[in-house]
């Protein structure tokens, strides 16, 4: 494959400079193994070899498992009540989802990875891509794994390859390797691609998998044998870039900052049926606060606040109802009191007594850049309110979410999420700081 083929004109300028300039470059995907369960084990050495499962919101279903729990054959997504016999038989430790703990440990892992590479893309809460320049390979991957394990206590696997798509595939092999890392360059590329099913290729979803299988294409090697024109016609430009990546030609740029969202949603199902307006009003305020945090984090403002409520349609004996309302803000804003006020105004319009509500959703749309929002000729905003929110965000970032907020919660509220098996906030709450007792 000549350099002319590698420097395809549709590659980004950044990719062409790195790749076609003949700078030795490889991509590494670092993936935290059984992340949620591993986080629960960090401060519980007694759970080192014990099966652990983590539950979804309201402790409904199994969403994450340790390797020991997976070995017992427990399927992901199964309702908790259906695995009670497994829990008793195998003495499985069960946890509610502790998102605050997971987020904090994730940030710590990502900060370590930034010590090893100048370019790091945080792909998800438990995955990150890195660009490796020079000759760093096996020793480098092993050093990353040992450092993260020593400093944080989270096991990670590392897949290394000339493109992001291949690194993603290599990481799956790394998870099964006793070494915990895998370099694509150590394998025969044809054999590697022939063992990679199309459904396991990063970016190929269920519909494309079904389509390719109908065309007799079952693995990555068979996909790369198709012409560029055929792939582009049937899988769009995204699929064509995937094909180039499988051929070892970098075609997907690193995203150092996630693109701003065009819509921001905050929603959870209630633990128990909610009937009182005051409970729904509290939930609307809480979800509005969460949504506004996400809005400020990407330095945006919103024009519209949509709020919706619904009952549980699976409870056939209950009266059913759902409705939604959208409120337009006078001036685009990310200020929590503005968004809370709009959400509660919308709730007043759609609330009906006599129903058992299961869910409430706050959805922000009409999102614009923070400093480009359309102003109102007759409304003069107080600039101090954003200084106040900046201070509150800084305090919450340092001392934990909801240290300061714009609302109070009643202890008797029935809308709050059920988390009966929640582990301590070891790293973000002084009261939950682990203590070492002297003998």
Convert the pLDDT of each residue in 385-398 to its tens digit: 777 777 777 777 77
**Boundary (domain end) residue, out of 192, 222, 244:** 192
120 vs 319: CA distance, rounded Å? 51
Phi, psi of 313 (to 5 degrees): -75, -5
The reported pTM is: 0.81
Regarding whether 268 and 175 lie in a shared domain, the answer is no
Is 430 inside any structural domain? no
**pLDDT computed for residue 410 by the predictor:** 61
Instruction: Label residues 362-383 b or e (16+ Cβ within 10 Å = b).
Output: bbbebbeebeebeeeeeeeeee
User: Do the bridges between strand 25-32 and strand 127-133 make them parallel or antiparallel, or are there none, so unpaired?
Assistant: antiparallel
Task: For residue 359, give the 3-state DSSP assignment.
Answer: strand
Q: What is the number of structural domains in the chain?
A: 2
How many residues are given for the chain? 439
Is 27 inside any structural domain? yes
173 vs 158: CA distance, rounded Å? 9
Cβ atoms of 47 and 41 within 8 Å: the answer is yes
Q: What is the CATH number of the domain that holds 109?
A: 3.30.70.270
Q: What is the CATH number of the domain that holds 387?
A: 3.30.1490.100
Segments of the chain with pLDDT less than 50: 1-22
Is 327 inside any structural domain? yes
Phi, psi of 285 (to 5 degrees): -65, -40
Regarding whether 59 and 176 lie in a shared domain, the answer is yes
**pLDDT computed for residue 401 by the predictor:** 66
Regarding whether 177 and 279 lie in a shared domain, the answer is no
127 vs 150: CA distance, rounded Å? 18
**pLDDT computed for residue 314 by the predictor:** 87
314 vs 225: CA distance, rounded Å? 48
**Contacts by 312-319 with C-beta closer than 8 Å and gap 24+?**
312/273, 312/356, 312/358, 315/356, 318/273, 318/355, 318/356, 319/354, 319/355, 319/356
Regarding whether 22 and 140 lie in a shared domain, the answer is yes
Is 252 inside any structural domain? no
Is 69 inside any structural domain? yes
CA dihedral of residues 194, 198, 199, 201 (deg, nearest 10) = 90
**pLDDT computed for residue 409 by the predictor:** 63
CA angle (199 as vertex; 193, 202 as ends), nearest 5: 75
**Boundary (domain end) residue, out of 192, 208, 241:** 192
Cβ atoms of 249 and 163 within 8 Å: the answer is yes
Beta bridge partners of 365: 304
**Boundary (domain end) residue, out of 192, 222, 255:** 192
**pLDDT computed for residue 428 by the predictor:** 84
Regarding whether 186 and 39 lie in a shared domain, the answer is yes
Is 76 inside any structural domain? yes
> How many helices and strands in the chain, by DSSP H and E?
15, 13
Question: Residue 314 belongs to what domain range?
Answer: 264-399
Is 426 inside any structural domain? no
């Amino acid at each position: 494959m000549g350099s002319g083929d590698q420097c395809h004109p549709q590659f980004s300028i950044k990719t062409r400079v790195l790749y076609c300039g003949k700078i030795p470059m490889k991509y590494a995907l670092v993936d935290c193994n059984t992340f949620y369960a591993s986080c629960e084990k960090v401060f519980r050495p007694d759970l080192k070899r014990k099966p652990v499962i983590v539950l979804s919101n309201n402790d409904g279903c199994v969403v994450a498992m340790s390797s020991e729990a997976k070995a017992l054959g427990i399927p992901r997504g199964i309702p908790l009540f259906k695995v009670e016999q497994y829990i008793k038989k195998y003495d499985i430790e069960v946890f509610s989802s502790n998102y605050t703990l997971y987020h904090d440990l994730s940030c710590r892992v990502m900060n370590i990875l930034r010590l090893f590479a100048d370019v790091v893309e945080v792909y998800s809460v438990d995955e990150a891509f890195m660009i490796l320049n020079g000759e760093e390979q096996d020793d480098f991957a092993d050093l990353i794994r040992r450092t993260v394990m020593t400093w944080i206590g989270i096991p990670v696997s590392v897949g290394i390859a000339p493109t992001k798509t291949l690194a993603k595939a290599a990481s799956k092999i790394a998870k099964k390797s006793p070494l915990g890392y895998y370099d694509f360059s150590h394998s025969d590329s044809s054999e590697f691609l022939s063992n990679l099913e199309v459904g396991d290729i990063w970016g190929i979803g269920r519909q494309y998998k079904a389509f390719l299988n109908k065309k007799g294409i079952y693995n990555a090697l068979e996909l790369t044998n198709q012409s560029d024109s055929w792939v582009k016609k049937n899988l769009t430009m995204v699929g064509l870039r995937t094909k180039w990546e499988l051929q070892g030609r970098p075609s997907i740029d690193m995203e150092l900052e996630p693109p701003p969202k065009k819509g921001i949603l905050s929603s959870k199902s209630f633990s128990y049926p909610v009937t009182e307006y005051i409970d729904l009003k509290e939930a609307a305020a809480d979800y509005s606060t969460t949504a506004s945090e996400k809005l400020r984090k990407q330095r945006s403002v919103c024009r519209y606040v949509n709020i919706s409520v619904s009952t549980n349609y699976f409870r056939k004996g209950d009266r059913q109802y759902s409705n939604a309302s959208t409120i337009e803000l006078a001036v685009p804003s990310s200020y929590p009191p503005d968004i809370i006020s709009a959400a509660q105004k919308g709730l007043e319009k759609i609330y009906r007594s006599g129903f058992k509500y299961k869910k409430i959703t706050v959805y922000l749309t009409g999102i614009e850049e923070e400093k480009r929002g359309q102003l109102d000729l007759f409304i003069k905003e107080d600039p101090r309110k954003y200084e106040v929110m900046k201070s509150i965000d800084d305090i919450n970032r340092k001392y934990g979410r909801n240290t300061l907020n714009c609302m109070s919660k009643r202890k008797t509220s029935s809308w709050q999420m059920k988390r009966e098996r929640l582990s301590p906030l070891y790293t973000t709450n002084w009261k939950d700081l682990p203590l070492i007792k002297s003998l």
